[in-house]
Homo-oligomer: A and B are copies of this chain.
């Protein structure tokens, strides 16, 4: 048991997820039980809020409202794209010292975990006792050490429900449909579109992931084959697909790059990639009805589409983070393990260096040999993460009527 008396600070970083507030509320409710904790602060706008001393006192928030916020998508404490360097972390650390912060919990992806690592090292160097724990979240599902990440299941559910509807729409009015899904380096979210399949001719028929080099000629040959077979094609594409040289397809199209403060090329918030690919199919194959949608921000913050399992786990990683800090008096990153595929989970605290700044990719056994689809192993992996009560499509099975005039 930690004897460290002081304040808890919790913050959220990076892109929101539909369940990220569950983790903050898990921290707040659990931390409020410990007498060593003098107050539970939340930093507004992530690390930026720490620099600015922009804190709210979650000890003075009602339990009911915390529960309500936990069921609201996107970062309730607001977020930031700031990527702290050593000097930035030093300023954060100074503020933490001034406010007697002794427990720091940061909910975020691999950039955020790196921030936790730096701050923790600075505290050690200054001989200032600080428990610092990274709590995982990302719809990209790309954190090392984790079987899957909080936020992914709900976003995957959105993508699967979207493609379920697209299957029905594209069947009613046939053509080629391209849906562009978030995912810079990891294809998990795009791959989850495969869970929309119920009938043998259901799409997505083709799935293109950042883990495999995108080849336009191969793409056209794939589309042509499926179109001749079914008279329609439904395609899922990761926004991050790149050619064999590693150049993102969107950069090829735009002829320019827009970068965020992390130096990442902007992939979301534009329909350009989908439009490029649609034109490629139109021009290359002469198919008239080609449509593309870019799912954009809907997939990470849509209200009302949440995996109940994902929500529960997002709550638990927050709660566990506090328990590790309090009962075990240790630092690190909370990781979700899955001892049984279908289905149980276990939470472990892993060394933060195993997670910080690293990216996990789709393992080879999740991707088919042709590099344009997923395997049954991926289905088995992903299905439980979508949660209960997935809507299901049904088709008419009425027999055909014999023709009279056209016999």
Q: Indicate the member of A16, A398, A405 with the most B CB atoms within 10 Å.
A: A398
Chain A binding site: helix, strand, loop or mixed by DSSP? loop
Please pick, from B55, B62, B78, the residue contacting A401 in the complex, using a CB distance under 8 A.
B55
Q: Which of A276-323 contact B (CB under 8 A)?
A: 278, 290-298, 300-305
- A191 touches B (CB below 8 Å): no
Smallest distance from the beta carbon of A266 to chain B beta carbons, Å?
Answer: 9
- A71 touches B (CB below 8 Å): yes
Question: Which listed segment binds B: A91-99, A116-124, A240-248?
Answer: A91-99
Question: Is the CB–CB distance between A272 and B271 below 8 Å?
Answer: yes
A81 to B172, CA, bound (A): 10
Please pick, from B57, B297, B391, B398, the residue contacting A165 in the complex, using a CB distance under 8 A.
B297
A399 to B60, CA, bound (A): 7
- A403 touches B (CB below 8 Å): yes
A66 to B396, CA, bound (A): 7
A94 neighbours in B (Cβ, 8 Å): 405
Give the interface size class of chain A.
35 or more
Please pick, from B290, B302, B404, the residue contacting A161 in the complex, using a CB distance under 8 A.
B302
- A367 touches B (CB below 8 Å): no
A390 neighbours in B (Cβ, 8 Å): 304
- A183 touches B (CB below 8 Å): no
- A264 touches B (CB below 8 Å): no
Question: Is the CB–CB distance between A56 and B401 below 8 Å?
Answer: yes
Please pick, from B172, B296, B300, B404, the residue contacting A99 in the complex, using a CB distance under 8 A.
B404
- A262 touches B (CB below 8 Å): no
Smallest distance from the beta carbon of A283 to chain B beta carbons, Å?
Answer: 13
A52 neighbours in B (Cβ, 8 Å): 406
Question: Is the CB–CB distance between A395 and B298 below 8 Å?
Answer: no
A66 neighbours in B (Cβ, 8 Å): 396
Contact with B along A384-405 (1 / 0, CB 8 A): 0000001101111111110111
Question: Is the CB–CB distance between B298 and A291 below 8 Å?
Answer: no
A72 neighbours in B (Cβ, 8 Å): 168, 393-395
Please, which residue of chain B has its CB at the minimum distance from the CB of A169?
B301
Contact with B along A81-109 (1 / 0, CB 8 A): 10000000000001100110000000000
Given the interface pairs A297-B293, A298-B295, the reply to whether A396 lies near B169 with Cβ below 8 Å is: no
Question: Is the CB–CB distance between B275 and A404 below 8 Å?
Answer: no
Please pick, from B69, B173, B398, the residue contacting A396 in the complex, using a CB distance under 8 A.
B69
Q: Which of A336-394 contact B (CB under 8 A)?
A: 390-391, 393-394
Question: Is the CB–CB distance between B303 and A165 below 8 Å?
Answer: yes
A166 neighbours in B (Cβ, 8 Å): 297-298, 301
Question: What 19 new A-B contacts, CB under 8 Å, besides A74-B165, A162-B303?
Answer: A16-B169, A42-B396, A53-B405, A57-B399, A57-B400, A61-B398, A75-B172, A76-B395, A79-B173, A161-B302, A166-B301, A269-B290, A269-B293, A270-B274, A271-B272, A271-B292, A271-B294, A291-B297, A304-B390
Leading 10 A-B pairs by shortest Cβ distance: A271-B271, A269-B291, A293-B296, A74-B168, A165-B301, A68-B394, A55-B401, A56-B398, A169-B301, A304-B391
